[in-house]
C-alpha cells in the first residue's frame, strides 16, 4: 500500500469522529515514528513530511556515508558503494537521504501500524469526549433511552455519546421506555481505561437546583438565589431561597400562582413534595421555617453541639416529624442542626433512652430514626403505622408500648 493511500483510508475519521485533519496528521506521524523506532531501533534520523492539503506523507532516512566495511550502525551509516547506488557522486562524510516506502516496513508492520492508528484515533476521540463532559458536570442534560438493563439505563445523546443512568440515581417512581427522553444532571465523568464513563443522576439535590434555574426566570437571571437544596428523592424536598431585592418575594416567585411555576418541577421529580422556604441568617427563624408546615412555638439552640430543641403544640408534632420522619430529617439537613421535638405543656414524658435496660438499643434507634424519641411520642402513634414506618414487627412494637405504658402509669 502506498503512503498516500493509507492516509486517505483514514480521512473518513475527519467527518465521522469530529477530528480535524491536522490532528489526524499529527497522530499519523506519532504512529509512524513508533513503527520506525521498532524496526530500525531509532527514529531520530528520520524526517516525516506530511502534507495535510494533499493527504500525502513521505518518510526519509538520513545516513552518513562511510568507507566500505566500516559501517557500525546500519541505521545511521551507509557504505560508499551503497550510497553511490542512490547517486553516483556521493563521497565519504556526506549525508544521504533515502525515501522509505511502507513496503520496506514489512506486511506485518503495516497491519500493526493500521491497528495503532485506529487505537490512537479512538483514544483522541475519547479524550475529547471526556473533556467535553467534564466541563458539563453539575449541568442539566437530556439524552434518549437506548437500552434498559437491570442495574442501569443506557442513554445516547444526539452525537451518539453513551451516558449511564444507574438504578440508584433514578427516582423510585421513574419508568422509562426505549426512545424516551430523560433529563438529569451530569454527575460524574471518569476514565475507565481509555473510555469515558458519563454518569447521569436524577436523585442529586443538584438536579432539583438546576431545574429551578431552568424553570424559574428570576433564578436564571440571578434575582433569586438558591441557597440550599435537600431531598429524599421521589418523596420530599426542601429548598431555601433568598433575594437581594426586597421587592421580590422569592418563595412566591418560585411557587407561582396556585403552584403554577413549581408544578412542572414536581411532575419531573415524580410528584416529589417540594417545600420552598425563605432563607435567613437567623438560625431560630430558619429552623422554624424549615419545619413547615408545622407551627413552632419556641426554639432553644445549642450552638456548640449544633442541636435545637423545638417546642410545639401536641397537634403540631406529627406535622413537624412528617410521614416516615421525612420532614424533621430534611429540616435538620437544611439547617445543619440536629432537631429534637418536644410537646409544649406535656410535662410527664420520658426519653426512650431511659428504657435501655428493657428495650434493646437498635429498637430505640428505629423509633428515633422517624423522629420519635420520647415515650409519649411513641404512644400517640398507631401501631400499624409504626410497623410500616419502622420496619419493626408488630409483636416488638406491642412489647415497647406495654413497657412505656407501665412506666407512665406508675
If asked whether residues 157 and 39 sit together in one domain, one would say no
**What is the average per-residue pLDDT within 275-295?**
94
- Among 228, 263, 279, the domain-final residue is 279
State the pLDDT confidence band at 180, using cuts at 50, 70 and 90: very high
Q: Is the dihedral of CA 7, 9, 13, 15 positive or negative?
A: positive
CATH number of 24's domain: 3.30.1480.10
DSSP state of 360: -
SS3 state of residue 210? helix
> Rounded CA gap, 274 and 168, in Å?
21
Q: Are 99 and 69 in contact (CB under 8 A)?
A: no
pTM for the model stands at 0.64
* pLDDT score recorded for residue 2: 47
Percent of the chain having pLDDT more than 70?
91
If asked whether residues 190 and 71 sit together in one domain, one would say no
State the pLDDT confidence band at 4, using cuts at 50, 70 and 90: very low
Burial 176-212 (b: 16+ CB within 10 A, else e): eeeeeebebbbbbbeeeeeebebbbbbbbbbbbbbbb
The total number of structural domains in the chain stands at 3
Residue 314 lies in a domain: no
- Among 131, 146, 166, the domain-final residue is 131
**What is the average per-residue pLDDT within 277-286?**
94
Q: Are 83 and 65 in contact (CB under 8 A)?
A: yes
List C-alpha distances in Å: 251 to 212, 259, 292, 385, 397. Answer: 12, 11, 13, 33, 41
Q: What is the DSSP pairing of strand 152-156 with strand 162-166?
A: antiparallel
- Joined together, the cell numbers standing for residue 274 give 417540594
If asked whether residues 229 and 252 sit together in one domain, one would say yes
> Rounded CA gap, 365 and 242, in Å?
35
Residue 267, domain extent: 206-279
> Rounded CA gap, 167 and 60, in Å?
56
CATH number of 151's domain: 2.40.50.140
> Rounded CA gap, 182 and 174, in Å?
10
Per residue in 330-350, pLDDT (tens digit) is 999 999 999 998 887 655 678
Helix (H) or strand (E) holding 84: helix 80-86
- Mean of the per-residue pLDDT values for the chain? 86
Q: Check pLDDT > 50 for residue 186.
A: yes
State the pLDDT confidence band at 89, using cuts at 50, 70 and 90: confident
Residue 127 lies in a domain: yes
- Joined together, the cell numbers standing for residue 193 give 481505561
- Among 249, 279, 309, the domain-final residue is 279
CATH number of 224's domain: 3.30.300.20
Amino acid at each position: 500500500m502506498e503512503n498516500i493511500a493509507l492516509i486517505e483510508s483514514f480521512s473518513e475519521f475527519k467527518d465521522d469522529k469530529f477530528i480535524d485533519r491536522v490532528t489526524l496528521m499529527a497522530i499519523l506521524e506519532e504512529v509512524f515514528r513508533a513503527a520506525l523506532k521498532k524496526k530500525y531501533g531509532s527514529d531520530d534520523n528520520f524526517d516525516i513530511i506530511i502534507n495535510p492539503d494533499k493527504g500525502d506523507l513521505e518518510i526519509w532516512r538520513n545516513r552518513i556515508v562511510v568507507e566500505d566495511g566500516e559501517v557500525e550502525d546500519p541505521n545511521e551509516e551507509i557504505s560508499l558503494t551503497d550510497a553511490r547506488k542512490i547517486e553516483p557522486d556521493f563521497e565519504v562524510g556526506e549525508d544521504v537521504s533515502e525515501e522509505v516506502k511502507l513496503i520496506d516496513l514489512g506486511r506485518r508492520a503495516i497491519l500493526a501500524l493500521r491497528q495503532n492508528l485506529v487505537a490512537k484515533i479512538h483514544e483522541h476521540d475519547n479524550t475529547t469526549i471526556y473533556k467535553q463532559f467534564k466541563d458539563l458536570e453539575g449541568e442539566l442534560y437530556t439524552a434518549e433511552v437506548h437500552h434498559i438493563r437491570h442495574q442501569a439505563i443506557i442513554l445516547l445523546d444526539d452525537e451518539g455519546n453513551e451516558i449511564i443512568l444507574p438504578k440508584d440515581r433514578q427516582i423510585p417512581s421513574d419508568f422509562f421506555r426505549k426512545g424516551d427522553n430523560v433529563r438529569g444532571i451530569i454527575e460524574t465523568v471518569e476514565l475507565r481505561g481509555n473510555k469515558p464513563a458519563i454518569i447521569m443522576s436524577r436523585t442529586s439535590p443538584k438536579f432539583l437546583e438546576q431545574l429551578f434555574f431552568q424553570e424559574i426566570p428570576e433564578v436564571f437571571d440571578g434575582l433569586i438565589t438558591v441557597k440550599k437544596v435537600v431531598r429524599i428523592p421521589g418523596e420530599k424536598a426542601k429548598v431555601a431561597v433568598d433575594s437581594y431585592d426586597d421587592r421580590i418575594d422569592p418563595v412566591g416567585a418560585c411557587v407561582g400562582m396556585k403552584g403554577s411555576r413549581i408544578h412542572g418541577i414536581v411532575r419531573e421529580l415524580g410528584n416529589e413534595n417540594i417545600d420552598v422556604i425563605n432563607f435567613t441568617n437567623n438560625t431560630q427563624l430558619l429552623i422554624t421555617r424549615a419545619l413547615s408546615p408545622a407551627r413552632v412555638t419556641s426554639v432553644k439552640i445549642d450552638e456548640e453541639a449544633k442541636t435545637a430543641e423545638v417546642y410545639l403544640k401536641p397537634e403540631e408534632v406529627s406535622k413537624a416529624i412528617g410521614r416516615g420522619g421525612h420532614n424533621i430529617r430534611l429540616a435538620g439537613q437544611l439547617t445543619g442542626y440536629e432537631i429534637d421535638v418536644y410537646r409544649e405543656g406535656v410535662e410527664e414524658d420520658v426519653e426512650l433512652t431511659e428504657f435501655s435496660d428493657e428495650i434493646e438499643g437498635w429498637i430505640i434507634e428505629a423509633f428515633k430514626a422517624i423522629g420519635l424519641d420520647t415515650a409519649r411520642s411513641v404512644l400517640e402513634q398507631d401501631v400499624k403505622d409504626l410497623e410500616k414506618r419502622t420496619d419493626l414487627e408488630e409483636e416488638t412494637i406491642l412489647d415497647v408500648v406495654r413497657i412505656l405504658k407501665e412506666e407512665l402509669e406508675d
